Amino acid sequence: MQKISPALLSIIGLLGITAMICSCAHTGVSSAQKQQADASRNLGEAYMADGNYTKALRELLKAEHLNPQDPYVHNDLGLTYMAKGNFEKSVNHFKKALELHPEYSPARNNLGSVYVALEQWHNAIECFEDVADDLLYATPYYPLTNLGHVYYRTGNYREAEKYYRQALDLEYDFPKALHGLGQVFMARGENKKAADYMERARKKAPDAAPIYMDLGRVYTRQHEYHKAIAAYKKAAALARGTALGDEAKEAVQRVKNLW
């Protein structure tokens, strides 16, 4: 779940109660309604953190009904619908959050992520570029990594490498950027470099099954079958009960047959 950047929190803090009163006056939401809405939103976010998106949705819809002009509840609804696979509603809520709060970069970054899921690459790039240009955004290596991912997915490996490296310039051991750069090198057939970056990613994110899957693939290409099997087995254990876990188990058998 995206958090409000510290810079944005400080701005809200400076506005204080005056802004809250003005907001209520302009939206027609009473102080009591706003308090109830905030309580439902907070409970919804707690359910989101636990991965219970059905209960989260129930609470967030209550919050929206009580205070439909709250951009943060629309952002949370966007995240919840995205987690449940309803991308159309997710897009609508992120757009509503930005309509209410045009400088709300986390919502813009989230909107870009939905566009990635929908493979609307141009829209995704536009969102991530806007976020990367926001000097108040606390974690600019996220949109830079997202840009790298979009260009990787569209086969533009040169641009993908550029953005992944920019992300790593800001956050040296950011595992998503390390993994992404490894994928770029693997796509180019530079398997040694790919393995090096993926090993760095693995050390920083030891519970990320997709990293182990790609390590298995690159070690298979290098005919380092013991390492490949170990990586696939780890992916299978981490992703047990999922399609990725089943794919990893099948990969173990395929590599064993290569000996």
Q: Which mean pLDDT values do the consecutive 10-residue runs of the chain (259 residues) have?
A: 34 29 52 93 96 97 96 97 97 98 96 97 98 94 97 98 98 97 98 98 97 98 96 97 96 91
pLDDT score for 29: 76
Tell me how many domains the chain contains: 3
Q: Does the residue 166 lie in any domain?
A: yes
Q: Does the residue 3 lie in any domain?
A: no
* Residues 188 and 220 placed together within one structural domain of the fold: no
Q: Does the residue 38 lie in any domain?
A: yes
* Residues 111 and 194 placed together within one structural domain of the fold: no
* Residues 35 and 116 placed together within one structural domain of the fold: yes
- All residues at 6 or more sequence positions from 244 whose CB lies less than 8 Å from its CB, including other chains: 209, 210, 213, 235
Alpha carbons 116 and 43: distance in angstroms, whole number: 28
- Domain of residue 81 covers 30-128
* Residues 120 and 47 placed together within one structural domain of the fold: yes
pLDDT score for 7: 32
Helix (H) or strand (E) holding 174: none
Alpha carbons 107 and 229: distance in angstroms, whole number: 40
Alpha carbons 97 and 73: distance in angstroms, whole number: 8
Q: What is the CATH number of the domain that holds 146?
A: 1.25.40.10
How many other CB atoms sit within 10 Å of the CB of residue 24?
A: 17
pTM of the predicted model as reported, rounded to 2 decimal places: 0.83
Q: Does the residue 176 lie in any domain?
A: yes
Q: Does the residue 19 lie in any domain?
A: no
* Residues 108 and 53 placed together within one structural domain of the fold: yes
